[in-house]
Structure 1
């Protein structure tokens, strides 16, 4: 969220950032809203000051026994008092209009972010790992075909209970899904220095506003009763851990990680990935959140992205890193790296992690600050978030990359300790 004073002081930079995102300039319109707000404040202040002055004059007139003047002033005060509610309402409305406009503005892209209209403008940074080798003539199957053939992935049972975009995992696939989440969270805690958090998955409006899911993306969220939302990502509760806090610089950086279920309405995804586990209403994800001083956030962004890459490399998966262009970045992001994993069944790369530097955009919405060493004034922190990684999509990648022509699935070496030593997943009992 932006400070209107910064926009007024830097209108050209603000509008240039919006143009890079493919949006219309807005500094002039916002300045007009601010002028309206200021004018309403000045009018209300003038009325209040005149009421106070007139009240004193009434006392002076009565002291002089000037009844006529006192009555005239009393009438003036009564008129001013009657005028005040309308002016107060105008002040509130002008302030609310400006606030609403500021809440709808996405973050500005960093200077090193490529300008582009959509995903076609994203820039590949590097690739790692190798595509799996399959026998000649073998056509790799997609994950849902593999899972259903094993009798361990049931979309029909899930649909009867919950509708489309849900799945029931059974037996060894359920354990593999759990193993993936445990492997990831252990990696981020033990190797990458994150503090493990077990956060609520129900949050209030203020928390969703703080990380910018509200108000713009209300239709993408699941409401839970009158007071709560189901989290679309653990970014929401993890980032809000520093809400309305002033931290000492020595506390930074803060690094959190959590394995949670996440819930998304997928309101804009009609017809996309309708089969399988790529795009579901409920899914598990390991999230990373960092809170840093502004000068450290670029380096922290690289560190976080490497931590997510470490997961994929440990699983022996082929992937590429993409720098997202201005037209494909998220609302709160100033710079984003996407990691895309190779899926042989789709013969394509698909996103499995997104790591974003939000600068002070979320911190302003949450009023999260720190005090630099030796300074009296506080500064807004920078916040970063990244999936490390999406557990369901990692399961998809393991199934498709580790499949054998006989339909069985080899268990990656790093997951076998979490699987009780199981090396290969075969059909469920009674399934051949």
Structure 2
């Protein structure tokens, strides 16, 4: 670690939480340079939903490289891009009766968000974009403007106009519907709220603390967008590609976004790939008006195509995730219930689960204790108060239980260390 600590910028983050050098990785396991095996409940922050080095994707990628297939193509036409687009249409869009144009805005999720914000403003000819408390949409300036976290916003060093914060679903607790609050503001000409071009939201806020939007709330937000001539942007970068069960996290709510951003696990292999999905009538870009050098990473097209064919031509993976999710939620709630002095709340959907600790410091302590026992997971939320459980979607039942055993042991150890080990009878 000496070389990394000496030469890498102070901005480095995850290496501080996981202070070992990893050498190999397979499926839902990572191995460090000393041969120690770690269970992965992190999934590359959601970029490895299918785990590490999937055999089907690896084979397809190696064959493509051996054939001297195009690697870098800007937005030129390539055979592999065409295959990916047709597969995405056949496997993802057609079964869901979706019709969108696909934009390749750059290699990362924040690039997809920037493109979404720009096209929304261009279409509506209005500057404002409404976002929600605890939102996270990326680290470039446009995406950061619609991100709620104060420390991340503070890193911008400049004012970020054109963004309007509103309370997310459940922000004030039960009994208050924040969609109704927004409706009142939009309808009242004296509210001071200028009509925005768009609303951007996550159906499950990942970095914000695994805050889950109520489906009725999502439907109301969609209805308000229609009634007030605003576009609905759903950021499905972390919650999508099966993380909550279905391919898109918004499917169970029955809403139809105008614009969708997808990245992280889209390539299936951890390779950078992002798309912005735009309703065809909104695709009013001039050629080259939004571009980037790495729009056409063909290696990612190869693995993304293999992932779609392998995992999404039927609903087996979705059903597996939903079944296992119930087990994980039950066991984790049992851990909370067994400790009467441990004040924590469990929430989530699919393999996107969070344990919100009233004492925020406990979350980081528990995560660190898990790592000592070779389980990799992270914390999230405004004060890193939520321990995130995000296993790869391919994780077998026995490894889920092994990881949950480690969490249970870590909670017990940390509570004992803090004098809070008062278990229920």
Greater relative contact order (Cα 8 A, min sep 6): structure 1 or 2? 2
TM-score bin, normalised by smaller chain = under 0.3
* Bigger Cα Rg: 1
| TM-score (norm: length of structure 2) | 0.24
Which structure: greater strand fraction?
Answer: 1
| TM-score (norm: length of structure 1) | 0.24
